[in-house]
A = this chain, B = another copy of it.
């Protein structure tokens, strides 16, 4: 009983720390994160951090993993669309873009991070990666289906998935850098992105 409560209490403080860190990252970016800022925010002393985390890096890593998972989750619940896989893909990317744009600093922090520990989870460009990356796997399977059905032009599936992904990625990042693009223009860009890409991968007679 007491032990359970202790554990719960412990978890609670851990979360308080992570919450604060999350807020700071959202505001100042990962490099703006400092132990002091965290402990100031939660009214604890700097030393407390080292009770719950090995070092600053462990916090960052925890958050990065979490961030990655949140982004993944956004596309997890997309419904399969048996006959029109491109709609499925579009739905997934639309959610993904929305999720990313909702926590831009955070998305950047994860996706532009070249720390090996982070990369282990975010790699996408390697040949054969689709076997290891769930994200790419899903994308590949949709594309494969499209090809099988004759809706998509035959192609190297993985490579196509990668290009779809990086293209979307480029749009997202650029939108984040140019913070003040109007809602309207954002939508037009996203829409045209799909137009071009799907036009690029779909069979002539399907469009």
Contact = CB atoms under 8 A, between A and B. Distances in A.
A156 B192 CA distance: 9
Given A171-B167, A177-B119, A125 B185 contact: yes
Contacts of A177: 111-114, 119, 122
Interface size for chain A: under 10, 10 to 19, 20 to 34, or 35 or more residues?
35 or more
Interface of A: 31, 108, 111-114, 119, 122-127, 153, 155-156, 159-160, 162-179, 181-182, 185, 188-189, 192-193, 195-201, 204
A189 B125 contact: yes
Contact of A125 (B159, B164, B175): B175
Given A166-B174, A170-B166, A192-B160, A179 B126 contact: no
A31 B200 CA distance: 39
